[in-house]
């Protein structure tokens, strides 16, 4: 019986759980955040989740609105992100939107569930994370 040829390597899937390859999903925004902004608040939220997973500090700070952006951003050592579920996306008007999501991660062996309704604002064609309310 002939041996089956190995299947070509699949590109890594995006951490945001869209089912798409990272490079075709959040990776394109993170790699070129000055030239390729996320088209809407949901894409920005998903790409920010992926940036947290990959510890992409520059992207996270660049997509955080200046009025609420921290002066520095540190990552929790040994944090392991487990998944993202977008529960709702609402465009409030041309420049304001909200995204409700649940992000799961493990920190020092403890499971954590972050459930937030985030607010986003669009300025000069770019969406920015403003703030959010945790449930």
Token pair in block for residue 56:
């992409």
pLDDT value at residue 2: 53
CB atoms within 10 A of CB 73: 13
pLDDT value at residue 119: 98
> Average pLDDT per run of 10 along the chain, which is 135 residues long?
56 94 96 92 98 97 97 92 96 97 95 97 97 96
* Residues paired with 117 in a beta bridge: 100, 133
Q: Phi and psi for 88 in degrees, rounded to 5?
A: -160, 150
The residue behind tokens 């709702």 is 88
pLDDT value at residue 8: 60
125: left (phi over 0), alpha (psi -120 to 50) or beta: left
């Amino acid at each position: 019986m002939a041996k089956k040829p190995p299947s070509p390597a699949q590109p890594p899937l995006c951490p945001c759980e869209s089912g798409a390859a990272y490079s075709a999903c959040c990776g394109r925004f993170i790699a070129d955040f000055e030239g390729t902004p996320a088209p809407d608040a949901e894409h920005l939220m998903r790409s920010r989740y992926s940036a947290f997973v990959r510890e992409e500090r520059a992207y996270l700070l660049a997509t955080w609105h200046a009025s609420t952006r921290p002066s520095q951003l540190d990552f929790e050592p040994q944090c392991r992100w487990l998944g993202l579920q977008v529960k709702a996306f609402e465009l409030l008007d041309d420049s304001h939107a909200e995204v409700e999501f649940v992000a799961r991660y493990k920190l020092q062996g403890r499971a954590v569930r972050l459930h937030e309704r985030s607010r986003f604002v669009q300025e000069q064609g770019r969406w920015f994370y403003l703030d959010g309310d945790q449930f």
